[in-house]
Amino acid sequence: MNRVHERLAKLEQAAPDELRKTDSELPAAAVMLLGSTAHDSVGILIDDRNAEQAMSGVINNTYYEGRIRIISIWEAMGQMES
């Protein structure tokens, strides 16, 4: 995991300790919410574009595509303001 973090830091051109750390269990929590409630879909607001892309990549082309939405917090705030 450290190597991945270091490569990501190089890609982002940032110090490794400055990178955002996102809980990788958020999609699993979303799946549990879908299974335990009557909701048709759930969303995850996120402020980490790398994690957003990774989570979207995992969810795409699965049963959960369209049911679990990964949303940039900045896009959501922009929608709420307009």
Global model pTM greater than 0.85: no
Domain ranges of the chain: 21-81
Residues 9-20: pLDDT tens digits? 676 677 766 666
- pLDDT tens digits, one per residue of 19-57: 666 667 888 889 999 999 999 999 998 888 878 888 888
**DSSP structure string for 52-71:** HHHHHHHHTTSTTBTTEEEE
Q: H-helix or E-strand containing 20? A: none
